[in-house]
C-alpha cells in the first residue's frame, strides 16, 4: 500500500513539474503576443495591428485562458503531493491561487473589448479620438487587472514555500526561493499602484524559485524515504 502511494507521489510530482513547465509557453504566447501588437503612442496603429492579426490575437487570448486552467490543475496536483505535510496549509495554498486565476481570466475581457473596438462598426459609433481613448483605457485596465491577479500569484507561493521547506522530501532551499518569488510578485503589484513612475520590476530577480521547483519536480521528483515518513507521521 505504501509503495503504491509513493509511486503515485512520484507521478504526481512529475505531473506538477510538467504543468508548471506548460505555464511557460502558454503564458509567453498568451501575454506577450498581445503586447507585441500594442503601439503605446499610437492607438490607431494598435487597432490596425489587431485587425491584421485577428486570428493570432484570438489564439493568444485562448492561450492565456488555458494557462489559468493549467494553474488550477497545478495547485491541485501540489495539494495532493503536499497535504501529508500539513493539510490545512495545503488547502490554504489552493484558496490563495484560485482568486488569481479567476481574476486573470476575467481580465481577458479587456482584450475582448479591444477586439470589439477594432470592428468596422465601432468606427461608425465613436470618433477617432474616442476610439483611441477607449483602446488606451482597455490596455490600462488590463495592466492593472494583471497586477491585481499577481498579488495572488505571489501569495500562494508563501504556503507552497512553507510546505516545501517543511516536507523534507524536496530540498528546503527551494521553499525559501519560492517565498522570495512570492515577495517579488506582491511587491511588484503594490509598486505599480503606489509608485508606477519608478518602473522597477522585482520579479526579474526573484523568479528563480519557480524555475527551480519546476525543474526539480519534473526531473528529480520527491525523496521517497522522506515522503514515506511524512505519510506515516502526518502533521
Q: What pLDDT sits at residue 128?
A: 78
- DSSP for residue 83: T
Q: What pLDDT sits at residue 211?
A: 95
pLDDT along the chain (235 residues), means of 10: 58 94 93 82 81 89 96 97 94 97 96 82 74 87 93 97 93 96 94 81 89 94 61 53
Predicted TM-score (pTM) of this structure? 0.88
Which set of grid coordinates corresponds to residue 47?
A: 487597432
Q: What pLDDT sits at residue 150?
A: 94
Rounded Cα distance, 78 and 157, in Å: 11
Which set of grid coordinates corresponds to residue 114?
A: 479591444
Rounded Cα distance, 62 and 26, in Å: 9
Amino acid at each position: 500500500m505504501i509503495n503504491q502511494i509513493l509511486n503515485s507521489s512520484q507521478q504526481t510530482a512529475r505531473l506538477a513539474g510538467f504543468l508548471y513547465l506548460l505555464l511557460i509557453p502558454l503564458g509567453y504566447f498568451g501575454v506577450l503576443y498581445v503586447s507585441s501588437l500594442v503601439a503605446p503612442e499610437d492607438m490607431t496603429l494598435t487597432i490596425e495591428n489587431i485587425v491584421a492579426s485577428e486570428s493570432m490575437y484570438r489564439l493568444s487570448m485562448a492561450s492565456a485562458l488555458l494557462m489559468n486552467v493549467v494553474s488550477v490543475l497545478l495547485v491541485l496536483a501540489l495539494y495532493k503531493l503536499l497535504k501529508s505535510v500539513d493539510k490545512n496549509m495545503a488547502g490554504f495554498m489552493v484558496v490563495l491561487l484560485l482568486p488569481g486565476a479567476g481574476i486573470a481570466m476575467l481580465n481577458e475581457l479587456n482584450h475582448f473589448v479591444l477586439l470589439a473596438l477594432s470592428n468596422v462598426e465601432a468606427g461608425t459609433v465613436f470618433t477617432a479620438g474616442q476610439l483611441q481613448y477607449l483602446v488606451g483605457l482597455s490596455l490600462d485596465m488590463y495592466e492593472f487587472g494583471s497586477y491585481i491577479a499577481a498579488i495572488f500569484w505571489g501569495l500562494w507561493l508563501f504556503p507552497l514555500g512553507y510546505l516545501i521547506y517543511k516536507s523534507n522530501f524536496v530540498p528546503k532551499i527551494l521553499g525559501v526561493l519560492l517565498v522570495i518569488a512570492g515577495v517579488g510578485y506582491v511587491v511588484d503589484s503594490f509598486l505599480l499602484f503606489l509608485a508606477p513612475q519608478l518602473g522597477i520590476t522585482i520579479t526579474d530577480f526573484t523568479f528563480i524559485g519557480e524555475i527551480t521547483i519546476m525543474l526539480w519536480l519534473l526531473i528529480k521528483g520527491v525523496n521517497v524515504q522522506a515522503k514515506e515518513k511524512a505519510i506515516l507521521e502526518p502533521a
